[in-house]
């Protein structure tokens, strides 16, 4: 795929090269010393150390490429969350038009979404209940789950910092047309992401991680 020109710099901890594929990236992780780095204008500040990242059964990895809605994308970052029923990955993707998207990867179920303006119609998290229906852009979404999750780890390029985030509330919604939405309570006001469920084959993924059993 064709991506915007990358920006290269060095890790302030170990001096290794750090390359940003996404111009708006705020946080990244040094692939050599695992320092968590936040970009301040043209400089990088080390704000912590990423522990050994949890083993994942997903074939997706940083650098995996795919297609969605007629656009190509490359995976540039990841956040892993844990909740009472297990873990899931949110892969940060750079679309070939420079926009950011997220690929949710939970036990072989996949969804692609982008940040969406709620148009002032964002419910308060404390008032949301399973079964309620909300409309954004004249499309209805029904709440299927309200869950508390914690951060497990991050890697690669992200559009925000995660050092001040420990636990957060997420609201899952969907409709009968294969559409999905997520209300992300990690920020205030909450963020809205909308998109659709997709199959692994539909994404036409390449440069996947190879491991025994896949």
Whole-angstrom distance, CA of residue 106 vs CA of residue 2: 28
Q: What is the CATH number of the domain that holds 39?
A: 2.20.28
| Total tally of structural domains belonging to the chain | 1
pTM for this predicted structure = 0.85
pLDDT at residue 46 above 90? Answer: no
What's the whole-number average pLDDT of the chain?
A: 86
In a domain, 167, yes or no: no
Is pLDDT above 80 for 70?
yes
Q: Tell me, what's the pLDDT at 44?
A: 72
CA distance 77 to 91: 6
For 195-211, the pLDDT digits (tens) are 999 999 999 999 999 87
| 29 within domain boundaries | yes
Residue 98 has pLDDT above 60, yes or no: yes
Query: What are residue 201's phi and psi, to 5 degrees?
Result: -65, -35
Q: CA–CA separation, 91 vs 15, rounded Å? A: 26
Top-confidence residue, 164 or 100:
100
Instruction: Look at residue 128 and tell me if it is in a domain.
Output: no
- Residue-wise pLDDT for 10-19, tens only, equals 888 898 888 7
Determine, yes or no, domain membership for 174: no
Please state, as a whole number, how many other Cβ atoms lie within 10 Å of the Cβ of residue 175. Answer: 14
Q: Is the pLDDT of residue 42 over 70?
A: no
Please state, in angstroms and rounded to a whole number, the distance separating the CA atoms of residues 135 and 137: 7
Average pLDDT value for residue range 4-8: 57
What's the pLDDT at 179? 97
| pLDDT of 152 | 86
pLDDT band of 89, cuts 50, 70, 90: very high
Domain holding 44, by residue range, is: 7-49
User: What CA–CA distance (Å, rounded) separates 195 from 182?
Assistant: 9
Find the range with the poorest average confidence among 39-43, 93-97, 98-102, 112-116: 39-43
């Amino acid at each position: 795929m064709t991506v915007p020109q990358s920006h290269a710099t060095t890790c302030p901890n170990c001096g290794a090269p750090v390359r940003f594929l996404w111009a708006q990236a705020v946080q990244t992780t040094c692939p050599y010393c695992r320092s968590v780095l936040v970009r301040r204008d043209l400089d990088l500040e080390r704000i912590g150390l990423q522990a050994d990242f949890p083993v994942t059964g997903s074939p997706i990895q940083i650098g995996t490429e795919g297609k969605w809605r007629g656009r190509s994308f490359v995976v540039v970052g990841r956040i892993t969350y844990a909740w009472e029923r297990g873990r899931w990955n949110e892969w940060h993707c750079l679309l070939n038009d420079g926009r950011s998207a997220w690929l949710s990867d939970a036990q072989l179920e996949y969804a692609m979404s982008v940040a969406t303006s709620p148009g002032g119609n964002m419910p308060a998290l404390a008032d949301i209940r399973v079964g309620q229906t909300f409309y954004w852009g004249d499309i209805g979404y029904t709440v299927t789950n309200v869950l508390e999750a914690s951060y497990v780890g991050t890697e690669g390029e992200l559009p925000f910092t995660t050092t001040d985030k420990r636990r957060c509330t997420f609201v899952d919604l969907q409709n009968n047309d294969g559409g999905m939405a997520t209300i992300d309570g990690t920020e205030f006001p909450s963020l809205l992401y909308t998109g659709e469920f997709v199959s692994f084959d539909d994404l036409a993924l390449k440069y996947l991680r190879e491991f025994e059993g896949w």
